């Protein structure tokens, strides 16, 4: 049972995030790099990525609805996960309508947009389950497994499906993705959250006394949204999130610019870039990510977050200052491999920090809202990258991102110093 076994929790959140990472890696890495190799402009690719990511911004709407109707005889919120996983599988099958991704870019964008809607609700449901059943002293490790699972999914969707696309065609890649999504949906059906949970979905909670009590205690949507916005807009919470959001936006801007530069300017094969982004080093990255989760639980996520931000800042400033050396393939490969650690390590530190900001009774909705805003940062970063690449270069863009993160670090240090001084005076 998920509530009783830490190992089962680690495994479950690992594979659930693998399931989320596969379509993301396929759309945002494999297909995006494929379009770049076919000569599409950075603006067109940035727009495609933004369309695919747009539904993830609306997660803040789904969070309160999921919390309002969370109770089910198969496990609280599990019915949301199963329903959206199945619909995401159906949406994946719809990609068979696309024969030529370049000529049918609009159709493909629409299908991926529909898929992202279901995937975003699934993600919101999984996040709500995680924050409701994971003990606080496990959150660093669970977030590490979640992010590690997402990395594995990205690797499958980018390196794996890119290879299928390269050696076969788009339809074969869609078929492999759909089969994997179906298998993992079946696995979700077989896992129980609590010992009293059944396997047959039902919304008729009144047959069960415990469900009746939960239903009577269900807060109204108006109250949920009210508490949600109060939690997000609280001064300290808002300041902390803005700092995290700026870093995520910079991460997205740089990686999109760097990938486009390698394919479009340095004429790297799109499959080679996809494999490097999602394939090689995934085991090492996974080990480092899980290790980061353990460290976060021991020293605290805030300290780890600051250390990771300093590392990312130094990397961007140094690596992008040496932009003239990107023409040397080993140097760029080393940079790309090192960059694979940036996002997962920052997420391992940042996610527990955001969990600590969440209010009781709306923690699922608030954390989901934070995830929606983080996804918005990724979408905006992709769009900004596509736009800025029309008049600037990837090294300059990356350098600006590094300077921006440096300013965020200074803001954090000043805020912590002011807080300590105020506490000392009291």
**Residue range 267-291: mean pLDDT, rounded:** 69
Within-domain flag for 397: yes
Within-domain flag for 271: yes
pLDDT at 283: 62
DSSP 8-state code for residue 158:
I
pLDDT band at 215 (very low <50, low <70, confident <90, very high): very low
pLDDT band at 206 (very low <50, low <70, confident <90, very high): very low
**How do residues 310-357 score in pLDDT, each as one tens digit?**
999 999 999 999 999 999 999 998 888 888 778 777 887 888 888 888
Residue 306: Cβ within 10 Å count: 15
For residue 239, is pLDDT > 70?
yes
For residue 42, is pLDDT > 90?
no
For residue 76, is pLDDT > 90?
no
CATH assignment of the domain containing 250: 1.20.1250.20
| Domain carrying residue 91 | 6-198+231-419
- Burial of residue 210 (CB within 10 Å: 0-12, 13-18, 19+) is exposed
Distance between CA atoms of residues 406 and 314, nearest Å: 9
CB 293 within 8 A of CB 144: yes
The encoded tokens of residue 117 equal 């809607």
Q: CA 166, 171, 172: angle at the middle one, nearest 5?
A: 60
Give one DSSP letter per residue of 311-335, joined into a string. HHHHHHHHHHHTGGGGGSHHHHHHH
pLDDT at 211: 45
Please state, for a pLDDT cut of 70, what percent of the chain lies above it: 85
Within-domain flag for 210: no
**How do residues 153-185 score in pLDDT, each as one tens digit?**
888 888 889 889 988 899 999 999 999 999 999
Within-domain flag for 289: yes
DSSP 8-state code for residue 358:
P
For residue 224, is pLDDT > 50?
yes
Secondary structure of residue 178 in the 3-state scheme = helix
Which residues touch 145 (CB under 8 Å, ≥6 apart)? Answer: 10, 11, 13, 14, 17, 290, 293
Within-domain flag for 204: no
Distance between CA atoms of residues 30 and 172, nearest Å: 13
pLDDT band at 201 (very low <50, low <70, confident <90, very high): low
Q: Rounded to the nearest 10 degrees, what angle do helices 221-233 and 59-68 cross at?
A: 130
Within-domain flag for 203: no
Domains held by the chain: number: 1
Within-domain flag for 49: yes
Within-domain flag for 350: yes
**Residue range 75-103: mean pLDDT, rounded:** 89
């Amino acid at each position: 049972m998920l509530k009783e076994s830490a190992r089962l929790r680690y495994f479950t959140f690992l594979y659930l995030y693998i399931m989320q990472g596969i379509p993301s890696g396929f759309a945002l890495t494999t297909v995006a790099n494929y379009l770049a190799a076919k000569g599409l402009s950075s603006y067109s690719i940035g727009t495609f990525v933004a369309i695919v990511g747009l539904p993830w911004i609306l997660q803040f709407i789904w969070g309160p609805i999921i919390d309002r109707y969370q109770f089910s005889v198969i496990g609280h919120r599990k019915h949301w996960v199963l329903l959206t996983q199945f619909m995401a599988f159906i949406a994946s099958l719809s990609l068979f309508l696309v024969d030529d991704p370049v000529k049918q870019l609009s159709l493909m964008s629409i299908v991926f947009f529909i898929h992202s809607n279901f995937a975003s609700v699934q993600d919101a449901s999984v996040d709500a389950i995680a924050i409701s059943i994971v003990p606080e002293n496990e959150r660093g490790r669970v977030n590490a497994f979640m992010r590690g699972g997402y990395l594995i999914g990205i690797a499958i969707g980018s390196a794996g499906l890119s290879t299928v696309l390269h050696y076969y065609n788009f339809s074969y890649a869609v078929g492999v993705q759909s089969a994997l999504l179906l298998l993992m949906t079946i696995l979700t059906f077989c896992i129980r959250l609590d010992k009293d949970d059944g396997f047959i979905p039902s919304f008729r909670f009144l047959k069960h006394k415990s469900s009746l009590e939960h239903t009577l205690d269900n807060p109204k949507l108006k109250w949920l949204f009210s508490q949600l916005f109060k939690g997000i807009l609280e001064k300290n919470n808002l300041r902390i999130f803005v700092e995290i959001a700026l870093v995520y936006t910079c991460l997205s801007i740089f990686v999109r610019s760097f990938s486009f530069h390698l394919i479009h300017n340095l004429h790297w094969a799109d499959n080679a870039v996809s494999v490097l982004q999602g394939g090689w080093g995934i085991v090492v990255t996974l080990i480092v990510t899980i290790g980061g989760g353990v460290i976060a639980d021991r020293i605290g996520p805030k300290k780890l977050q600051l250390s990771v931000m300093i590392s990312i800042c130094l990397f961007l400033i140094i690596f992008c200052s040496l932009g003239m050396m990107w023409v040397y393939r080993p140097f760029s490969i080393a940079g790309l491999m090192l960059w694979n650690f940036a996002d997962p390590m920052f997420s391992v530190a940042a996610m527990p920090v955001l969990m600590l900001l969440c209010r009781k009774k709306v923690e699922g909705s608030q954390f989901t809202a934070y995830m929606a805003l983080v996804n918005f940062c990724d979408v905006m970063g992709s769009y900004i990258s596509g736009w800025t690449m029309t008049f600037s270069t990837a090294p300059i863009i990356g350098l600006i991102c590094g300077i921006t993160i440096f300013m965020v670090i200074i803001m954090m240090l000043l805020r912590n110093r002011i807080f300590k001084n105020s506490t000392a005076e009291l």
